[in-house]
């Protein structure tokens, strides 16, 4: 049995380094639960990619998409990757992605505390977004279901006037990279405090990945 953490990949090497730390963090609990080896596989930019390791897989495969918000990757790339991973006949199951779970908000809390911000400080959680609006809606729905005093969400594609005022800006990203740095530039332009780093470097995110993998 193999657990595959299926990440998007990035031209920024910090992205892969962060996700490798996450893989190391979850591999022990998953092995103890009988889930075998945990592999990190990328849709693009980084290696290995699904078509490269699919021919080596023959036992059961569980794919956990490393995606926070719904996107083209979740609708199209993840199913294509699952087919490639099963090219040698391995049965492949795909779990839900990471979005919509309150552990994501706990991960934001962890990052903010690590940066020296207290629990009373309101947060602006910023995702990338696209013309479809699905990314923005998904994080708004999460926060509506689990409200935090003073917290707001927005996307870079649809900024909200005044949203940075009085708030700590946190990128809704798993790892540092292009999107993370765009959110940092937004915070700096507004003169707002910024929480660096990715959500993948938190205990809460690791717990979420293990929970997804174990079903």
Tokens of 139: 């994080």
Domains of the chain: 2-98+201-214 (3.40.50.1400), 103-198 (3.40.50)
What whole-number percentage of the chain has pLDDT above 90?
88
What pTM was estimated for this model as a whole? 0.94
Render pLDDT for 16-69 as a digit per residue (tens, 0 to 9): 999 999 999 999 999 999 999 999 999 999 999 999 999 999 999 999 999 998
Q: Return phi, psi of residue 18, to 5°.
A: -65, -45
What integer is the mean pLDDT of 129-133? 61
Render pLDDT for 186-211 as a digit per residue (tens, 0 to 9): 999 999 999 999 999 999 999 999 99
pLDDT at 111: 97
Render pLDDT for 99-123 as a digit per residue (tens, 0 to 9): 899 999 999 999 999 999 999 999 9
Please name the helix (run of DSSP H) or strand (run of DSSP E) that holds residue 101, with its range, or none: none
pLDDT at 131: 52
What integer is the mean pLDDT of 164-168? 97
Crossing angle for the helix pair 203-214 and 13-32, to the nearest 10 degrees: 60
pLDDT at 132: 55
Give CA–CA dist 19/137, Å, rounded: 25
- Among all chains, which residue has been given the structure tokens 């279901």? 145
Give the CA distances from residue 178 to residues 61, 68, 207, in Å, rounded to whole numbers and listed in that order: 30, 16, 25
pLDDT at 193: 98
Q: Return phi, psi of residue 116, to 5°.
A: 95, 15
**Cα dihedral 169, 171, 175, 176 sign:** negative
């Amino acid at each position: 049995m193999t657990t595959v953490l299926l990440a998007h990949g990035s031209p920024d090497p910090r992205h892969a380094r962060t996700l490798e730390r996450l893989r190391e963090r979850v591999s022990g609990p998953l092995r103890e639960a009988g889930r075998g080896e945990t592999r990190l596989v990328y849709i693009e930019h980084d290696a290995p990619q699904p078509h490269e390791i699919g021919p080596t897989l023959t036992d059961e495969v569980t794919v956990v998409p490393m995606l926070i918000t719904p996107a083209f990757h979740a609708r199209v790339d993840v199913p294509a990757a699952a087919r490639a991973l099963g090219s040698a006949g391995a049965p492949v199951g795909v779990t839900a992605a990471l979005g919509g779970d309150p552990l994501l908000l706990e991960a934001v809390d962890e990052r903010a505390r690590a940066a020296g911000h207290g629990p009373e400080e309101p947060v602006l959680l910023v995702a990338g977004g696209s013309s479809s609006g699905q990314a923005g809606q998904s994080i708004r729905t999460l926060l509506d279901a689990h409200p935090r005093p003073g917290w707001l969400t927005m996307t870079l594609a649809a900024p909200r006037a005044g949203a940075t005022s009085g708030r700590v800006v946190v990128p809704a990203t798993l790892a540092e990279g292009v999107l993370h740095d765009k959110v940092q530039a937004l915070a700096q332009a507004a003169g707002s405090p910024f929480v660096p780093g990715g959500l993948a470097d938190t205990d809460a995110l690791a717990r979420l990945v293990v929970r997804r993998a174990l079903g």
